[in-house]
Amino acid sequence: MQLEMEKKDLVQKDKDHLWHAMHRYKEKANPLIASQGQGSWFTDTNGEKYLDGVSGLWCLNLGHGRKEIAQAAFDQMMNLSYFPLTLSHKPAIELSSKISELLKGSYATFFANSGSEANETAFKIARQYHAQNGNPGKYKFISRYRAYHGTTLGALSATAQANRRVKYDPAVPGFLHVPPPYSYRSTFGDNENSDLHAAEYIDQVITWEGSETVAGLILEPFISGGGVMIPSKEYLTRVSEICKKHDVLMIVDEVVSGFGRTGKMFGFMHSEGVQPDIVTMAKGLTSGYIPLGATAVRSEIYEKFKENGKQNHLRHISTYGGHPASCAVALKNIEIIENEKIVERVSQLSDSILSKLHDLISLDKVGEVRGVGFLYGIELVEDKESKVPVTEEFMGSVIAGCKDKGLIIGRNGDTVPGYSNVLIIAPPLSSTENDLYFVVETLKKVLYELC
């Protein structure tokens, strides 16, 4: 009886005081309140167990309960609880060096608290770099429709998802948007060269805007929250060539796709000849155990910030960015990823188990199944010929059906008006084979029942 009273009190406090992310108010709906987790699973306050099929918010790459990660944070806090990066500390030094090693190049890294902040930092660095490199007119940024780059105002301006920006516009000036590599609903016609047409369109926009005005292009290697769009390997290679041609900095947003999610350490590594100018990261950097974002900048660009002058240094600061405990956790997280060969494991198990999600294409309401590594999107339509998106109610019934069977999955909610019709599967990278079979079989059962 006492336990039930405590649970009711917790629910009421939640309703009265906690503002949930992306929450639509429902008076009678009780929140799902997690109480503990282990591996890819968590338990709520009612004792129900769920497999987290979206890794929290794409970040719980190594799952719950890694004692060595928690120990790394504890040990660091007991040794040095906090220290600002206006000066320095060992974990940040070691982590910045490790990031260069993982990126297979020489980079200088600025630490923040999140992916949004990492992208904000990238925009400021890009504009200042061009100004100090003799091109002060290069201030514009190009991003792609359907892409997500964060919720702070600059990052939101790069986020070309109309529903995210309702009542928050006008955006920061200087952000332009181009069509994504999305062959299923191609702007350029349904053909196998659609991705390359999308790349060439970037070239045209830079030319039309004037390359002397464009500072950078920001893109995810694989569009994630906007509907899981998987371009050809040639697409990113061509985009890289276009950026070099116009002296436009290529900013690769690896917040979701970094640290093994796609079967490579970083998503851009699926394409040949690509070495980004700036790489932003967060989420999988610490597997969500503690907040940390990072903006890694090619050393040649960083050199411009060493020049003499009162305003030539980066006048940017983050109180908690690069917190000693966060950096210690990131180092331990990367150590586990390497020691347990997580990246190779993701590639193998994606091919052997998650790829079975492609079987769903036989259903009338499944328009396309797209996936790479542990990142899958299933686009649902009323019928294959018209490609009309299924209703909000149908999407809700699929997600609720999975939840009833113990599986939490995601969707591309609040993105493009009328096109929030892609189911998203992104389980922890440490998921067992049985976990992955559970994901596949549960989703199949629900869709076979509803379609």
- The pLDDT tens digits of the residues spanning 280-308 come to 999 999 999 999 999 999 999 999 999 88
Looking at the DSSP bridge assignments, the partners of residue 51 are 41, 407
**Cross-strand bridge partners of residue 229:** 223
Q: Are residues 177 and 88 in the same domain?
A: yes
- Picking from 318, 339, 360, the residue at the C-terminal end of a domain is 339
- Can you say whether residue 80 is alpha, beta or left, with left for phi > 0 and alpha for psi between -120 and 50 degrees? beta
Mean pLDDT value of segment 248-272 = 98
Residues 236 and 368 in one domain: no
Q: Which residues of 209-240 are buried (b: 16+ CB within 10 A; e: fewer)?
A: eebeebbbbbbbbbbbbbbbbbbbeebbbbbb
| Domain tally, the chain | 2
- How far apart (Å, rounded) are the C-alpha atoms in residues 319 and 282? 17
The pLDDT value recorded for residue 401 is 98
Strands 41-44 and 34-38: antiparallel
Q: Based on the domain organization, do 47 and 177 belong to the same domain?
A: no
Q: Distance between the two ends of the chain, CA-based, in angstroms?
A: 42
Q: Is the pLDDT of residue 328 over 90?
A: yes
Both 317 and 362 in a single domain?
Answer: no
Confidence at residue 109, expressed as pLDDT on a 0 to 100 scale: 98
140 and 255: one domain?
yes
CATH number at residue 184: 3.40.640.10
Structure tokens that stand for 257 in this block: 């796709």
| Same domain membership, residue 32 and residue 180 | no
373 and 430 housed in the same domain: yes
Residue-wise pLDDT for 69-123, tens only, equals 999 999 999 999 999 999 999 999 999 999 999 999 999 999 999 999 999 999 9
pLDDT of residue 449: 96
Q: Are residues 196 and 323 in the same domain?
A: yes
Do 276 and 334 sit in the same domain of this protein?
A: yes
Instruction: Say if residue 349 is in the same domain as residue 371.
Output: yes
**pLDDT higher than threshold 70 for residue 271:** yes
Smallest CA-to-CA distance from 258 within 246, 247, 267, 249 is with 267
Q: Does residue 1 register a pLDDT over 80? A: no
What would the two tokens of residue 362 be? 């036989």
Mean pLDDT of 183-210: 93
pLDDT at site 420: 95
- pLDDT tier at 27, thresholds 50, 70, 90: low
Residue-range definition of the domain harbouring residue 333? 67-339
Same domain, 180 and 124: yes
CA dihedral 334, 336, 337, 339 (to 10 degrees): 120
Q: What is the mean pLDDT of residues 170-193?
A: 92
Q: Residue 247 — pLDDT band, cuts 50, 70, 90?
A: very high
How far apart CA 312 and CA 301 sit, in angstroms, is: 12
Which pTM does this prediction carry?
0.96
* Position 413 confidence tier, pLDDT thresholds 50, 70, 90: confident
pLDDT tens across 145-166, in order? 999 999 999 999 999 999 999 9
What is the helix (H) or strand (E) element at residue 295, kind and residue range?
A: strand 293-298
CATH of the domain at 351: 3.90.1150.10
The answer to whether residues 215 and 247 touch, using CB atoms and an 8 Å cutoff, is no
Final residue in a domain of this structure, among 312, 339, 366:
339
Does the structure show a pLDDT above 80 at 20?
Answer: yes
Residues 231 and 275 in one domain: yes
* Total residue length of the chain: 451
Residue 254 CA neighbour count, 13 Å, CB half: 30
d(CA 258, CA 276): 13
Domain boundary among 339, 361, 385: 339
